[in-house]
Amino acid sequence: MPDDIKAADQLMGKKGPIAPKGKPAFFKLRAQLLDDGRSIEPLAETENLWTWIKVYASGGENVLHAHPNEDHMFVILAGSAIFYGPNGEEKELSRNDGIMLPAGTHYYFNASSEEPLVMLRVGTHTDKDNEIMYREGIDGAPIPGGTKKNKWKAPVYREDAYYE
């Protein structure tokens, strides 16, 4: 691998640049709204912690899955979503509501409002020896995030419309 690619890899996290050690990283909660699909807006990352804004168009959804190597949480910034667990758990969350998901917790959610769903997602890995962003189904089979298996749809951005 060329040195310039190695250097870039050392600065990049899974979705955005890694904040340098010993220096604060500033960010703004801003993301473009969608008419269809879903998007991720990286805000800040370190080697151990990352935060993103995720936007789902109305009706956006994913499938029952878990992140076995990551504790993470969501806070609803706009819109609402119904979160589901593997044993019939169901809870609708709206603005300023949150959910904490310890590593290995199976869940999925659907956007339930007419307006786009905007969520803050914060995660940290729990097992540095394994893939951080690994996603698996209830059967233990991998479910890559950006695939039809996870009901992924490309974002269709709403012109000049932002969460901020």
Average pLDDT over residues 121-126: 93
Q: Quote the tokens at residue 120.
A: 């803050």
* Chain mean pLDDT for the chain: 87
* Backbone dihedral region for residue 37 (phi beyond 0: left; psi -120 to 50: alpha; all else: beta): left
Domain count, the chain: 1
Q: Which run of H or E residues covers position 160?
A: strand 156-163
Residue 103 lies in a domain: yes
Residue 108 lies in a domain: yes
Residue 14's pLDDT is 60
Residue 15's pLDDT is 66
CATH of the domain at 117: 2.60.120.10
Residue 6's pLDDT is 35
Residue 47 lies in a domain: yes
Give 10's DSSP letter: H
